[in-house]
Amino acid sequence: MFHTSIIELSERALRTNLEFLRDRIGPKTIFSSVVKGNAYGHGINNFIPKAQECGVDHFSVFSAGEALAVLEARTEPCEIMIMGYIDEAELEWAVENEIAFYVFDLERLHATNRAAAHVGKKAKVHLELETGMNRTGLPEDQLSDVADLILNNGNTISVDGVCTHFAGAESTANYWRIQKQLKNYRRMTGKLKRLGIKTFAKHIASSAATFAYPKTIQDMVRVGIAQYGYWPSQETLMHYFLESGIEDVEDYVDPLKRVIRWKSRVMSVKTVKPGEYIGYGISFLTTRSTHIATIPIGYWHGFARSLSNLGSVLVRGQRVPVIGTVNMNMILVDTTDIGQVQTGDEVVIIGKQGEQEISLGTFSDLGQYLNYEVLVRLPAEIPRTWVA
Ligand SMILES: *Cc1c(COP(=O)(O)O)cnc(C)c1O
């Protein structure tokens, strides 16, 4: 009731993914579940309690607003780490609530110091190092100032971690750049130790690095996309595939299972005679007597307009093409070849129906979107519900 589509989240898929990832990283490494972007579209409110049930106790977000959402959604105590934006006022809030955050420049380190002194609690800080991505991060020539500031304010700052982020571990095109970043990271952490910052968790791996560069699995990993059941890229999957020594592609069973299944219903059906344009404009002309079904989802719901005359959905276990342009709230599909379709029939936009599956990959390749982008474009307003 009161929605035109629904996103089902599979508990079994999530458990499978988390177990697979735990196997991969070993028992000692902390698993930080990355839940920025509304838990990659899965819904932060829905995702956090279930992930906690599955044993996750560390979450990473981009901003203080997202940290607040985790705080409100959690059902048990957990660590929360802000990897991105936080403003001055939020710094005090974070310290007060024992939320960890990245520090990537001296200005923020000073501000952290002030915030912690004001609150009267230690700030939980992760020093982000500039190793070559050239986005955010402390450059090497500032490390001695950083160490001085921290050591001379022993009661305000606790260095919980020292980290960096790779500039594209999902593509071998970046191989040398990543190697260089690793080298810089090692040298800079060594320097911090010599400067007197002795104990901290090292963390550098995202999903892609966890698979493509196993030695980047250190004290903690920050895994986003893989826990939701997606490989960061085809290359990362191939890397794993080759590493597993599987000889026959047919024998390969994907260890990652998609958590999301997005479904709707047929809203209306009709038959249109040959030689008619369908929907807005003149982008689709019928060449035969055509059965058309209307589905009440459109670009507002994250079904990209670029999938006009290109995307497909599943109805009655079969794939049917989108015809005409994607509207704000509707798409039209051609069901002529699949027999009787009725109002109310289930429609799967992403995920499995019977033997067929619309993967995010096909969805995103056609529309030229990244996996990540398709997921986070799913509006928060679509209800999410857990299924077994
Ligand atoms: C998003 C993000 C991650 C997780 O990346 P995935 O590819 O989804 O695993 C890790 N670290 C940082 C800093 C990030 O921004």
pLDDT in tens, 8-27: 999 999 999 999 999 999 99
Beta bridge partners of 32: 222
Residue 322 has pLDDT above 70, yes or no: yes
Q: How far is the CA of 206 from the centre of ligand 1 (A)?
A: 5
> Each residue of 90-120: pLDDT tens digit?
999 999 999 999 999 999 999 999 999 999 9
Residues 342-354, mean pLDDT to the nearest whole number: 97
Q: Are residues 166 and 314 in the same domain?
A: no
| DSSP code, position 152 | T
- Identify the CA nearest to 256 among candidates 24, 7, 30, 8: 24
Q: Are residues 194 and 316 in the same domain?
A: no
Q: How far is the CA of 34 from the centre of ligand 1 (A)?
A: 7
- Identify the CA nearest to 36 among candidates 80, 6, 92: 80
| DSSP code, position 355 | T
Q: Are residues 40 and 123 in the same domain?
A: yes
Q: Is the CB of 203 under 6 A from ligand 1?
A: no
What is the predicted pLDDT for the residue at 371?
82
Residues 243-259, mean pLDDT to the nearest whole number: 86
Show which of 234, 251, 268 is a domain's final residue. Answer: 251
Residues 211-234, mean pLDDT to the nearest whole number: 95
Q: Are residues 177 and 138 in the same domain?
A: yes
Residue 155 has pLDDT above 90, yes or no: no
CATH of the domain at 267: 2.40.37.10
What does R_g of the chain's alpha carbons equal in angstroms? 24
Q: Are residues 16 and 123 in the same domain?
A: yes
User: What 3-state DSSP class applies to 309?
Assistant: coil
Q: Are residues 275 and 325 in the same domain?
A: yes
Q: How far is the CA of 233 from the centre of ligand 1 (A)?
A: 13
What is the predicted pLDDT for the residue at 296?
98
Q: Is 348 inside a domain boundary?
A: yes
Residues of the domain holding 133: 11-251
Q: Are residues 177 and 293 in the same domain?
A: no
In this structure, what token pair is assigned to residue 364? 């995103």
Q: Is the CB of 212 under 6 A from ligand 1?
A: no
Residue 373 has pLDDT above 90, yes or no: no
Nearest CA to ligand 1 atom 8: 224
Q: Are residues 165 and 232 in the same domain?
A: yes
